[in-house]
């Protein structure tokens, strides 16, 4: 299969069908640019809370794009509600589990083992591996809320800069999210393009390995100098305060508790691959238990017994932990929800389809073309999943001329583009910023650069593979 393939007439027809904005393209692009600028100015110069800034920026974007004010509010509310209904629940459950993991001493067990057995030189590589393993079957948000306590405590105990520990872990999580099924973006692209799931999974793992290495342990050496921030005062344990804790859950019990939702989601993923379309009772049960919210809820309930009882906590203490874990994340929930609302306003204006038109008419490599389409939609909408699904729909006509390996690589090129340049319209951007206590410029210099490295490295890996298939 030739590496360079002209964009077919069918591609332009597909773009025309999917991109039908009610307003001129220039107006929509101006609206997106001004909306993002308003948010940045309000946060950095006016010092307005990000929740209010995102809300104002979203409504301003809708107004400039020509949306009716009522439609803008509805769009923002829909995005807010959808984000809170998905990511918000995961954040709340993750906060409860993280607090329980920290207060019970379970996080201490994991951290002490990691710090004692890994050298300072190898610790970033160990954290990158942990992020990739946890991220293989798990949604990014779920893996993040599970690993934040571990990241913070490892940085605190080892004395290593926060970014040296956080960046490799985030790289492992994000690379798996964008490149490897069963995450929703890759699965949607596989379905839309008719790609072979097993082949895409195998290629995805191959491409993800160098992406994690480059954007994780290697980039962390620079990020720790660019973003020199203290470790957040979160998940402070008795040991951190110099108080001897008499009882702690064992390492094995703690590890089982952490991996329980991973196993549940992995079992669902394997069942989806091996028994697609089956309505057998065991498949239905795994589909239910492996749903992210259910898997994390089970982890929390199991943690009450495994971690809480292992530390000698009674019901009153466990209830206190649950109550005290939710207050600190209220601001994070509102910010992430508002980020989802802003994203939805951008999606509803049709800006993603408009920008896709600007890159879809070139006679360039079909893989580079796929990456570019996903990149511009990702930048415009802030959603990796929206970018993946939209790009797959636009490029679907081209699959008629591609063989099975190239279609699998097309999925991965789209997935690589879908994680490029996370910024203020991405809920993940605000999660990273708030969890690690970063400013917007610091988040851009760390998390945003990390995402760009994953994207570019992923594309490079896809292009190399295309020479051999």
CB 226 within 8 A of CB 448: no
CB 176 within 8 A of CB 132: yes
Does the pTM surpass 0.85? The reply is no
Alpha-carbon gap, residue 398 to 403, rounded angstroms: 11
| 311 closest CA partner among 234, 237, 388 | 237
| 341 closest CA partner among 90, 69, 56 | 56
pLDDT at 416: 95
What letter does residue 328 receive in the DSSP assignment?
A: G
For 162, the token pair is 């926060």
Instruction: Print pLDDT tens along the chain (469 aa).
Output: 334 344 434 333 433 343 334 678 788 888 888 887 888 788 778 878 888 888 998 899 899 988 888 999 999 999 889 878 877 887 788 788 878 887 888 877 877 787 778 888 899 999 998 888 777 656 677 778 778 888 988 898 888 999 999 999 999 989 988 888 766 667 778 877 888 877 888 898 899 999 999 999 999 999 999 999 998 876 665 555 554 555 788 888 888 888 888 788 778 877 877 777 788 889 889 889 988 789 889 999 999 999 988 888 888 888 998 888 888 778 778 877 887 788 788 778 877 666 556 655 556 788 998 898 889 878 877 777 767 776 776 677 677 778 889 999 999 999 999 999 998 878 789 889 988 999 999 999 999 999 999 999 999 999 999 999 8
User: What value does the CA radius of gyration of the chain take, rounded to a whole number of Å?
Assistant: 22
Alpha-carbon gap, residue 213 to 298, rounded angstroms: 32
- For residue 106, give every residue at least 6 positions away whose Cβ sits within 8 Å of its Cβ, in sequence order, or none: 100, 248, 249, 253, 254, 257, 258, 307, 310, 311
CB 207 within 8 A of CB 412: yes
pLDDT at 237: 58
For 41, the token pair is 């100015």
For 145, the token pair is 């809320």
Q: Residue 365: what are its φ and ψ, rounded to 5°?
A: -50, 135
Alpha-carbon gap, residue 415 to 175, rounded angstroms: 9
Concatenated DSSP letters of 381-405: H--HHHHHHHHHHHHGGGGGGS-HH
Q: Residue 287: what are its φ and ψ, rounded to 5°?
A: -60, -40
Q: Is the peptide bond before 182 cis (omega within 30 degrees of 0)?
A: yes
Within 13 A of 392's CA, how many CA atoms are on the CB side? 27
| 177 closest CA partner among 233, 213, 131, 228 | 131
């Amino acid at each position: 299969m030739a590496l360079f393939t002209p964009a077919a007439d069918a591609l332009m027809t597909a773009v025309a069908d999917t991109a039908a904005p009610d307003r001129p393209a220039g107006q929509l692009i101006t609206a997106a640019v001004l909306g993002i600028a308003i948010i940045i100015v309000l946060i950095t110069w006016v010092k307005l809370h990000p929740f209010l800034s995102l809300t104002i920026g979203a409504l301003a974007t809708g107004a400039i794009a020509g949306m009716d004010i009522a439609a803008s509010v509805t769009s923002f509310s829909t995005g807010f509600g959808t984000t809170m209904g998905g990511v918000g629940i995961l954040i709340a459950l993750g906060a409860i589990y993280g607090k329980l993991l920290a207060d019970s001493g379970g996080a201490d067990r994991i951290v002490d083992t990691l710090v004692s057995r890994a050298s300072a030189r190898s610790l970033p590589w160990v954290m990158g591996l942990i992020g990739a393993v946890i991220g293989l079957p798990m949604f990014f948000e779920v893996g993040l809320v599970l690993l934040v306590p571990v990241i913070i405590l490892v940085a605190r105990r080892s004395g290593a800069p926060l970014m040296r520990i956080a960046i490799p872990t985030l790289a492992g999580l994000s690379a798996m999210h964008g490149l490897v099924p069963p995450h929703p973006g890759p699965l949607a692209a596989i379905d839309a393009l008719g790609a072979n799931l097993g082949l895409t999974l195998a290629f995805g793992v191959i491409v993800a390995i160098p992406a994690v290495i480059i954007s994780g342990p290697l980039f962390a050496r620079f990020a720790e100098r660019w973003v020199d921030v203290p470790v957040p005062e979160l998940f402070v344990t008795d040991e951190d305060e110099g108080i001897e804790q008499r009882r702690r859950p064992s390492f094995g019990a703690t590890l089982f508790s952490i991996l329980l939702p991973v196993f549940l989601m992995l079992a669902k993923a394997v069942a989806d691959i091996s028994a697609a379309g089956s309505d057998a009772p065991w498949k239905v049960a795994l589909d239910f238990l492996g749903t992210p919210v259910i898997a994390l809820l089970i982890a929390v309930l199991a943690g009450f017994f495994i971690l809480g009882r292992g530390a000698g906590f009674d019901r009153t203490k466990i209830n206190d932990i649950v109550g005290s874990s939710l207050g600190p994340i209220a601001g994070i929930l509102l910010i992430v929800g508002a980020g989802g609302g802003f994203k939805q306003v951008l999606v509803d204006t049709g800006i993603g389809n408009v920008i896709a038109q600007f890159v879809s008419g070139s006679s360039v490599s079909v893989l580079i073309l796929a990456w570019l389409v996903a990149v511009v939609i990702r930048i415009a909408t802030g959603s990796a999943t929206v970018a993946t699904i939209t790009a797959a729909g636009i490029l679907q006509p081209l699959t008629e001329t591609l063989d099975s390996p190239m279609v699998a690589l097309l999925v991965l090129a789209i997935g690589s583009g879908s994680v490029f340049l996370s910024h203020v319209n991405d809920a993940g951007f605000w999660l990273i910023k708030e969890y690690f206590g970063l400013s917007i410029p610091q988040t851009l210099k760390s998390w945003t650069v990390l995402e760009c490295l994953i994207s570019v490295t992923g594309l490079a890996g896809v292009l190399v593979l295309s020479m051999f298939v």
